[in-house]
A and B are shown apart, each in its own frame.
Chain A
Amino acid sequence: MEIIGTANLSYTYPGGTNQSISDVSISIEKGEFTLITGPSGCGKTTLCRCFNGLIPHFYEGEMKGKVTVAGLNVSEHSTSELAKHVGLVFQNPENQLFALSVEKDVAFGLENLGVPREEMRKSVDWALQLAGITDLRERPPHELSGGQQQRVAIASVLAMKPQVIVLDEPTSFLDPLSAQKIFEVIHQLNRDLGITVVLVEHRLDLTAKYADHIILMDKGKVLLDGNPRVILGSEETRLVGVGIPKATRLYEMLVRDGAKLRDAVPLSSDEMADLIEEALKSG
């Protein structure tokens, strides 16, 4: 079942001369983990802003085509209504946090929806724990490090228990181990709770292994859309200049030189190590 769909979607920012996204038609299934990637300025962030109605409700500009999220046409529903279904975590957490304590920031969305106090407390506790920031609950967000702020931003969205979470480079300020932990949390939300995840990322080395679906964009258009192993293994992807995981790259280099590795494009170092082990043992 489709949960996010766009049909011939184009958008130009106010005062802009070029379309930031043009003629984008994609379909994301409920429960999928989708990675959207592509060079800087390819339109990834703009596309995400259409998923929760920031475009066209907050950014004026010129929008053509249609966006449907959880069965709602985003042009016809307010951002607060859409927020019950779709949570967006921004690239820069400072743009998202404003309250005097982490707890208040995480509770803010629930307060706005008029959630009863006891239920709100439970949701906030749950979200803080998942994001690993229970000990920061009384701290003012503006005093936290960039990485901690990013966790607060993620917790604020999680607290709403949305059906879809859209994350725009949510760990770019985190150290790699913390980033890995956050991606594992996101993966868990997807796998165990069935939350649909749309993740915008350049760092495919950390994230490709979680993806069911990759959308590769370039210059505002969708270039490739489909299975991660097919897309990351393709010549076309390499030519666009996407950071293909080193494990995948190494596999391609070895296969190109005639190494006898099983025909199974790896997306992680573990998968690649297994393929090498297998080849060395069978040889």
Chain B
Amino acid sequence: MIEVKNLCFTYPNGVEALKGISLTIKEGELVAVMGQNGAGKTTLVKHFNGLLKPTSGQVLVNRVDTAKTTVATLARNVGFVFQNPDHQLFSETVEAEIAFGLRNFNFSVEITEKRITWALNLLGLTDYRKTSSFLLSGGERKRVALASVLAWDPTTLILDEPTIGQDYEQKEKLRQFILQMKTQGKTIIIVTHDVEFAAECDPRVLLMREGKIIADGESRKILTDPGAVEQASIVPPQIAQIFMKLHYMKLPTDIIDIYEAQRILEGMLEKSGR
């Protein structure tokens, strides 16, 4: 469980990035943090594994105050996958990259080996095991970064913009993987701009703007609220846009799922065709 109490954070250069945030993320929740560039999304989630410490207020991760413990201790339970894989990757091969964290957490040689194989396979990287991650494409490097964190099996996973540079199939795999982790009871926090991806994952959505949370709730409510969406500098998912445009024809406006859209429209078209 992550408890955030009146969190404020000011960067050393004086930029006030977070201005009084309070929220609770329960174990097993899937949360998407969305909003404007520079709204403080990454700054907020960096508090969840102690990379940043509050200027004022408090962050408790599983009842431990992050200000009173180290990133190394928190990282065992809270894995963080960065937005830009180049900030994370440094080893000579993909294999060595994944082994690094495992070795730091004192996993045995056999388990390290097994975990590497498992993570490579999960993210479709098996062929690149001995390749330098710097020879891979941007999307592939992001998967290496994800594999290196997943390998040590943290209970909470923070993914900062996981879909950037990922193609449709990889996104689909990522979505299935996120849902699978959710059924295993893991807490997953995604920072994302990808509204279509968020709509498909159907998470709890937190919208941020200028260091504050401006909306918090079910994705079908938040992502179809025109005012909140605009303030957070995002756009509604395409399915929602279609229904919002047709609202005067007595169509519901809180639809974000394509299959639900199909059912509703087929019902209406059938009725009107009779």
Closest to B270 in A: A259
Q: Are A92 and B245 in contact (CB under 8 A)?
A: no
Which one of A145, A257, A272, A279 lies within 8 Å of B242 (CB-CB)?
A: A272
Interface range on chain B (Cβ under 8 Å from partner):
35 or more
Segment of B72-80, B96-104, B233-241 engaged in the interface with chain A: B233-241
Q: What are 8 pairs between A and B in contact, CB < 8 Å?
A: A15-B135, A172-B165, A173-B83, A177-B36, A202-B166, A205-B238, A243-B171, A273-B241
Bound: A175/B269 CA distance, A: 35
**Is the C-beta of B16 less than 8 angstroms from some C-beta in chain A?**
no
- Which 7 A-B residue pairs are closest in the complex by CB-CB distance? A283-B272, A147-B37, A40-B139, A269-B241, A241-B169, A246-B238, A243-B168
Bound: A19/B232 CA distance, A: 43
Q: Are B239 and A260 in contact (CB under 8 A)?
A: no
Which one of A145, A147, A241, A273 lies within 8 Å of B245 (CB-CB)?
A: A273
| B interface residues with partner A (beta carbon < 8 Å) | 13, 35-38, 83-84, 86, 135-140, 161, 164-172, 193-196, 230, 232-235, 237-239, 241-242, 245-246, 249, 258, 261-262, 265-266, 268-269, 271-274
Q: Are A169 and B165 in contact (CB under 8 A)?
A: yes
| A interface residues with partner B (beta carbon < 8 Å) | 13, 15-16, 38-42, 45, 91-92, 94, 143, 145-148, 169, 172-180, 202-203, 205, 241-247, 249-250, 253-254, 257, 259-260, 268-270, 272-273, 276-277, 279-280, 283
Q: Are A91 and B35 in contact (CB under 8 A)?
A: no
Given A246-B238, A250-B261, A276-B246: A260 touches B269 (CB 8 Å cut-off): yes
Closest-CB distance, B53 to chain A (whole angstroms) = 21
Bound: A246/B194 CA distance, A: 13
Q: Are B137 and A177 in contact (CB under 8 A)?
A: no
Q: Are A176 and B193 in contact (CB under 8 A)?
A: yes
Closest to B248 in A: A277
Closest to A177 in B: B233
Q: Are B169 and A92 in contact (CB under 8 A)?
A: no
With a cutoff of 8 Å between Cβ atoms, the chain A residues found around residue B273 in the complex are 260, 283
Bound: A269/B137 CA distance, A: 31
Q: Are A41 and B137 in contact (CB under 8 A)?
A: yes
Q: Are A246 and B196 in contact (CB under 8 A)?
A: yes
With a cutoff of 8 Å between Cβ atoms, the chain A residues found around residue B166 in the complex are 40, 202
Closest-CB distance, A255 to chain B (whole angstroms) = 11
Closest to B231 in A: A177
Bound: A174/B232 CA distance, A: 12
